[in-house]
Structure 1
Amino acid sequence: MDAQSYTAALADLRGLRDEIKKARATLARLEAQRDKQIGLLAIYDRAKAERIAPAAGLSLAEIVALVPALAPDGLAADVPETAPAVEEVPATPDQPGAGSNHPAAQAPGAVAPAMIGPVQEAAPAQATPADARPRHAPAQPPADAPAEQGAPRTLPSIPDGAAGQGWFTHTANLLSQRPNFTQQARSTVFLDTDTGVLVHRNQTHRLSLGAGTAAEILTAVFDTVPEGVERIYITAGDPWHRDAARYPYLRDAVAAWLNAPTPGWRTDTGRGRDRMAGHFVHARHPVGRYQRDNGDQHVEIRSVGEWFDVDSDNPATVRDAFVLLWQALRRHWPDAVVMGSPSQTGRDLWTRTIPQRGQYAEGYAVLSEELRGLLHATAGQGRTELILPPGVPDQLPQLVEYDRTFAYAKHTWKSPVGTPRRVTAATFAAWSQKEQMRALYGCGHWQVRVTVPDTWQHVGLLPAPAPGERAWHYPSTPGTTFTTWAGGPEIHTALSNPITPWKVEILDGILWEDGKPLDDWAKKLKETWTNLTAQAHFQGASQQSRAAHLASRAVRAILLYGIGSFAQRPRMVTGTTPRTQERDVPTDAEIIGFDDEQITWQKPTGFSRDPNAHPEWAAAIWSGARAALLTQRHRDDNTHAGALHTPPGSVIAFRTDALYLTQPEAWPYHHQPGDYLLKGHLAGPVSAPTTEEELLTLRDAGRAALAQSTGEA
């Protein structure tokens, strides 16, 4: 680019800026007009929010927020008052924390909460800045999702007395049991929608896909494979994004693509033992489920990106990867079938490791819905945090990426089993120090009040709720006190970290027996991963080597997403309603898109009676993985690795199982699950990233630079 074209491009950019300003002004004017119209409708004495919401394209909650008088009867009484979960100064006995079972808030004579860690002087009574994080911030939300605003969430607590004790049971007649049937394989093809190349078994075809709509894909595939196909993996092209420029968010574009007319086909209503009905709207990896109008054929359209990242790999290589995956799994599971997604496959394989004799031969009982809901609300997943200046230099000397190899497989050797018991603050305080430490080493989930030491100068150790439905941050400002829930591995790390112990007060807790329900499953997957990784290494630079590498990544996805499937989040159902029948939109649904023909909506369905719902297992593994990002011992090398073993100010970011640093570390790597692998190294000076997008750009540059320096490019 020369100076003239640079100047012209700047002029174009200014023009775009002005157009964006105009569009925003127009949008603001239309929204104000809409809100005014809603206010006028509310004057009508029989106006109902559930009728106005679909007409306005808003959710019921948004209508009520605009016009509180339209709230359904009793709604206001059902909304509890909440207080911030992060406090500016440590609470005194006269200021119990909101949302906790702090004994100071109980009857006279109740004991104080159990305190673990060094005794510290109370902070001064003046207001000090809370850890609102100009330095340590949660990573930015995806570009296709609206930003969350507002105060930090207040996490739920277990009710006092008999009401809370009633949570500590299992759901009646709901058990994870070994299946007594053989899973059926599905006829599968692999399609690149950019090139039209289709691979079916050992045959390769080239299709004409037109605009790449679901209808055109179905027509072309079934014309080419007349005997029928049950699963279509899209290996490249992402056809559901082709009209993305017309929609404000990718989810809207995906929903429109999935719900576009498909003559001769309709949305699948599900069948068989692994019954999955309806489309799954996901911004990047959606699932379209269709059936013939006569009901005699069913087919899924899925993204192969659910399994692994495809880097210009052709459909034949992807096909070979799935064949190698199936062959490798069959060495451990003679009846193994590769199902539609890694999570489905992982859960199915796990059920086939449930013991046929012994204590759990009858199966693993599912927790009460109340405890599952509590774990859903209080047990976060991977740590994702971007640390901003002045927590790191404005100009980084370098950017070094370490990734924990097959990380979650390191933390499956012990999991909670049996009927959980409640450990109140009073019970915990009555135990000896040995009993307390044994409990924290065990399988537990704890409600705690945490105080950051006055001398602390490193990253935060424990998650605290941040604004947003599932958002977390990690307070690190000295003197900050907050109330949260955390697993035993993280609590133990806070108390025994190599720098200085944190003050932790046990307010409440859930404690299980230690068991090994996932150990056999994880060992088999680790062996499968090791074998495929070795194949990829020794095959040389061939298509089979690449296929083996992709298959090894698929095994990682099976374990990773299989663990996630145990968490069993409350489900969201997506549907469409013709504009002429908008009163039929469910009253508790959120409008996520609409056009001249139909309204697209989604609504939560709560917890299903899933026999394999075990959020306690997922929570324990996630807690162990977050703790290992901070400190992890390598016994054979008699050394430690992790963020707390780096100088203060050298940690740039955390991303699930990866660390980004300003300097390299001499951490051992033996190709074992959990080891820190040097994944990228970008020489500086580098401007410190301030958004997730900037971090990912630097990450990719660092990986490319390392590959070039080691001759792997």
Structure 2
Amino acid sequence: MDAKTYNAALAELRADRDEIKKVRTALAKLEAARDKKIRALTGYEKASADRIAPAAGLSIGDIVKIAPVLAPASLTAAPDGTVDEAQQTPQAPAVETGPTHDAALAPAGAGHTAAPSAASAKPERQGAPGAGAPAPGAVARELPAIAQGEEGDRWFAHTPNLASTHPNFTQQARSTVFLDTTTGILVHRDQTLRLNLPDTSAATILQAVFHAVPEGTERIFVTAGDPWHHQAEQHPFLKDAVAAWLNTPIPGWRTDTGRGKDRMAGHFVHPRHPVGRYQSDNGQYHVEIRSVREWFDAEGADPTIVRDAFVLLWKALRAHWGDAVLMGSPSQTGRDLWTRTIPTRGQHADGYPVLSEELRGLLHATAGQGRTELITPPRVPDKLPALVEYDRTFAYAKHTWKSPVGTPRRITAATFSAWSEKEQVKALYGCGHWHVRVTVPDTWNHVGILPAPAPGDRAWHYPAAPGTTFTTWAGGPEIYTALTNPIQPWRIEILDGLLWDDGKPLDDWSKKLKEAWSTLAAQAQLHGDPAQRQAAHLASRAVRSLLLYGIGSFAQRPRTVTGTTPRTHERDVPPDAEIIGFTDEQITWQRPTGFSRDPNAHPEWAAAIWSGARAALLSQRMREDNTYVGALHAPPGTVVAFRTDAVYLTAPQNWPYHGQPGDYLHKGHLAGPIPAPTTEDELLALRDAGRAALKQTATATTGQA
């Protein structure tokens, strides 16, 4: 083959690729429409997977994956003859507890009722669909373990010359404007202007803003309009529409490639909160377009109120950080503020070292975030007597008082077994991340407690079927809850683990944010001007985002870089990149870059907080009221769903609320009978209706008073 033939073949290959992309897009639309019809069929009480499967041209297993409620009984039964995991893993000690909430922990045979040995443990099986279990036929993810022997021992170290330290510079504020792309209202400092926006393309926005603000701006916050969705109907997925909006060529502008120490170069493709980064061809201007919804839901507020919210936020933070600067996102800002609480003298003056890449990778794979679970019939009634929402106020702030510090120790099954009961109790109540084998009690009749890997990237479910045995990783707070819950202790066997010293690296940062939040929340209640009350409310929500997303940023996920390449330079696309879109002018691609040398990467902190928050959804002590709250303190069969900080029940609970971080706020109440939700969309629709109904009831009650 000569060069001419080779190049001609490449051209044909590109044409084939483009045609395949178009066909796949059309196929994705057809499959989405088909799946929607299948889910709609579940509304018929006699609908069955075996009737729908041939009509859809799918297997029964495929139908059940799309609509788990259609799972036939023969598929939900536990399989017989499953290989006993105990025969494949070295026997580990059983951790037992007595029946009371304050019972001590003990190794097997140490005085409490003897548990079955690891060798006699029940076969590993999953709970039935509706319990957060994967659909029948699906293969659960297998979580990684610590490498055996010296190789695993080498993981227990820190990355050389990489630590979080107090910054020696001051962040520079960026000129910011606030734009409602629906109305064209633009707020710049104390000026309010109305722009003429014939369309909402990035080119039109940049041209209009820089015409109205000739001296230039560095950040455009879109308060309403979501311009990146304006051609969503032309794409199968929102992310495709966003990528097309960001990457449409703009005369006089190009994608910003970064400057100085700014690592936030290039566009960030996100379906709802994208970031467009542009620089003028002459290099004079650098500007980013981003959504204010990264910070809070503007709730219909005009750009002036949104601007006032950011001013109030900045003032509240300045009361605690004299050098506070609001950056583009709450995660950037929150983490920057945290670095300014790192001690410069005394303990930790040298900073907080970053764990080895192996341990960071292990935590990334084994530490989930918020609990999201929908429990469907028959575990809840087909018709719910009510749907009551309880949402934990500023929840993560409740779990920052203690965090792991230093280099963790490896605690093997043999080491744990050799410890005294007191040492085991201290370890499990401390800052640890544990590889465990779990058995649900044979008479269990409530929701699951510990997360287990489910099919899908980073997906988790919560087995609750009696007698289920599974292997997973979990944090200390969840292990504690499983062992001391108010119903019945679960059987926990320690296989391996990480154990850190207790410390307070986030305590000062969190306290300052909580004080700023309290100040703004009080203004939102007491200010005489309704507009300022709304601005203060939005600012208090922004403080919540600072802590929430600041904690998330510590997790440091492996990064994916998105880029564009002109079609005329197609050979310059990185060889490991995945092409995610293209036009006649350019190709959009993304590729994984792994873990960066981020000095503020501390997934151990995020994992500990997330574990504490998930545990508090189940059981939390209200000290001043001397009572317990959470899902496990509601009657069996009344829990409908969990969503990160919220739990949805079929009946109201007498849970005290003082407006403090972690308290359960009665946020929604929809009277029944209500069809039990079977999809997330149905749950969210009922949630919104419940919030509106409770608000209406509160307004009516206030009016009568």
- Closer/same/farther in 2, CA of residues 583 and 487 from structure 1, 3 Å limit: same
Deviations 1:230-284 (A, max 9, x none): 0000000000000000000000000000000111111111124443100000000
User: Which of 76, 79, 87 is the aligned partner of 1:95?
Assistant: 87
The residue aligned with 1:3 is none
Q: 2:181 aligns with which of 186, 193, 204?
A: 193
Question: Which residue in 1 is equivalent to 2:312?
Answer: 324
- Report the counterpart of residue 129 of structure 2 in structure 1: 134
Equivalent position of 2:663 in the other structure: 675
CA contact (8 A) 2:451 2:460 kept: yes
Is the CA contact 2:277–2:286 (under 8 Å) kept in the aligned structure 1? Answer: yes
Q: Which residue of 2 aligns with 1:507?
A: 495
| Residue identity opposite 2:531 in structure 1 | Q
Equivalent in the alignment of 1:451: 439
2:5 is aligned to: none
Q: For residue 523 of structure 1, give the secondary structure of its aligned residue in structure 2.
A: helix
* CA deviations over 1:411-470 (Å, ceiling 9, x no partner): 000000011110000000000111011001110100000011100000000000011111
Which moves more between the two structures, 291-300 or 49-58?
49-58
Equivalent runs, 1:389-404 vs 2, <5 Å: 389-404=377-392
- What is the CA deviation profile of residues 18-58 of structure 1, one whole-angstrom value per residue up to 9, with x for unaligned ones? xxxxxxxxxxxxxxxxxxxxxxxxxxx99xx9999888559
CA displacement at 1:581 relative to structure 2? 3.8
Amino acid at match of 1:166: R
Q: How big is the shift at 1:297?
A: 1.1
Distance 1:446 1:51, change over 3 A: farther
**Per-residue displacement from partner, 1:117-163 (whole Å, max 9, x unpaired)?**
564458999998943532223799xxxxxxx9941110001111110
- Distance in structure 1 (CA, Å) of the matches to 2:625 and 2:95: 34
> How many equivalent pairs are there?
622
Matches of 2:627 and 2:218, distance apart in 1: 51
Residue of structure 2 aligned with 1:369, choices 357, 364, 379: 357
1:488 aligns to what?
476
The equivalent position to 1:522 in structure 2, one of 505, 510, 535, is: 510
- Alpha-carbon distance in 1 for matches of 2:246, 2:608: 36
Give 1:538's aligned residue. 526
Report the alpha carbon displacement of residue 600 of structure 1 after superposing the two structures with TM.
1.6
- Aligned AA for 1:455? T
The amino acid that maps onto 2:634 is T
Residues 163 and 599, structure 2, Cα contact 8 Å, conserved in 1 = yes
Aligned to 1:4: none
Amino acid at match of 2:579: I
In 1, the alpha carbon distance for the partners of 2:132 and 2:201 equals: 40
The 5 A counterparts of 1:459-478 are 459-478=447-466
Match 1:178 to one of 166, 186, 208: 166
- Displacement after TM superposition at 1:493 (Å): 0.5
1:602 counterpart SS class: strand
Measured in 1, the distance between the counterparts of 2:150 and 2:665 equals: 49
**TM norm structure 1:** 0.84
Unaligned runs of 5+ in 2: 1-8, 23-77, 98-112
Alignment RMSD (CA, Å): 2.6
- The one-letter code of the counterpart of 1:201 is R
Could you say what secondary structure the match of 1:636 adopts?
A: helix
Instruction: Give the letter aligned to residue 356 of structure 1.
Output: T
Q: 2:219 aligns with which of 221, 225, 231?
A: 231
Partner amino acid, structure 2, of 1:681: H
Change (3 A) 1:478 1:54: farther
- SS of the residue corresponding to residue 710 of structure 1 reads helix
Residue 221 of structure 1 aligns with which residue?
A: 209
Query: In 1, distance between residues paired with 2:209 and 2:375?
Result: 48
2:699 alignment counterpart: 711
Alignment partner, residue 616 of structure 2: 628
Query: Gaps spanning 5+ residues in structure 1: where?
Result: 1-44, 59-85, 97-101, 105-111, 141-147
Contact 2:84–2:124 (CA under 8 A) maintained in structure 1: no
* Partner residue, 2:575: 587
Retained in 2: the 8 A contact 1:197–1:205? yes
Aligned to 1:610: 598
Contact 1:103–1:113 under 8 Å retained in 2: no
Distance in 2 between residues matched to 1:353 and 1:637, nearest whole Å: 33
Q: Distance in 1 between matches of 2:388 and 2:633?
A: 15
* 1:64-143 correspondence runs (5 A): 92=84, 95-96=87-88, 102-103=89-90, 112-117=92-97, 119-121=114-116, 130-137=125-132
Offset of residue 182 of structure 1: 0.9
Counterpart-to-counterpart distance in 1, 2:162 and 2:121? 52
Deviates more, 1:247-256 or 1:293-302: 293-302
In structure 2, do the counterparts of structure 1 residues 395 and 541 end up closer, same or farther at CA, with 3 Å as the change threshold? farther
CA distance in 1, matches of 2:117, 2:175: 67
1:437 matched residue in structure 2? 425
Deviations 1:612-657 (A, max 9, x none): 0000000000000000000000111110000000000000000000
Measured after TM superposition, the shift of residue 602 of structure 1 is 1.1
Q: What is the rounded CA distance, in whole Å, between the counterparts of 1:258 and 1:665 in structure 2?
A: 47
Between the aligned partners of 1:314 and 1:139, the Cα distance in structure 2 is 44
Instruction: Encode CA deviations 1:536-562: one digit per residue, 9 max, x unaligned.
Output: 000146100000000000000000000
Distance 2:641 2:459 in 1: 16
Rounded Cα–Cα distance in structure 2 between residues aligned with 1:57 and 1:660: 41
Cα pair 2:122 2:468 within 8 Å, conserved? no
Per-residue deviation, residues 155-205 of structure 1 (Å, max 9, x unmatched)? 001111110011000001001010111111000000000000000001011
Cα distance in structure 1, aligned partners of 2:221 and 2:371:
31
The ranges of structure 1 where at least 4 consecutive aligned residues each deviate by more than 6 angstroms after the TM superposition are 49-55, 86-91, 122-129
Cα distance in 2 for partners of 1:235, 1:517 equals: 34
Q: Is the 8 A contact 2:127 2:465 kept in 1?
A: no
Contact 2:94 2:115 in 1 (8 A): no
Shift of 1:94: 5.9
| Deviation readout 1:287-332 (Å, 9 max, x if unpaired) | 0000111112100100000000111110000000000000000000
The match for 1:385 among 369, 373, 378 is 373
The letter of the residue matching 1:135 is: G
AA at the equivalent of 1:103: P
Q: Distance in 1 between matches of 2:202 and 2:147?
A: 49
The answer as to 2:254 corresponding to 1:266 is yes
3-state DSSP of counterpart to 1:320: helix
Per the alignment, in what secondary structure is the counterpart of residue 218 of structure 1?
Answer: helix
The corresponding residue for 2:75 is none
Quote the sequence identity (%): 71
In 1, Cα distance between equivalents of 2:483 and 2:240 = 46
Counterpart in 2 of 1:72?
Answer: none
Aligned equivalent of 2:51: none
Cα separation, partners in 2 of 1:359 and 1:89, compared to 1, 3 Å: farther
Amino acid at match of 1:474: Y
Name the CA shift for 1:149/1:451 in 2 (closer, same or farther; >3 Å). Answer: closer
Code of the aligned partner of 2:445: Q
Deviation at 1:592, TM superposition (A): 1.8
AA paired with 1:434? K
Q: Give the Cα separation in 2 of the matches to 1:274 and 1:579.
A: 28
**Aligned-partner SS, 1:711:** helix
Establish whether residue 286 from structure 1 lines up as the match of residue 282 from structure 2.
no
Structure 1 equivalent of residue 643 of structure 2: 655
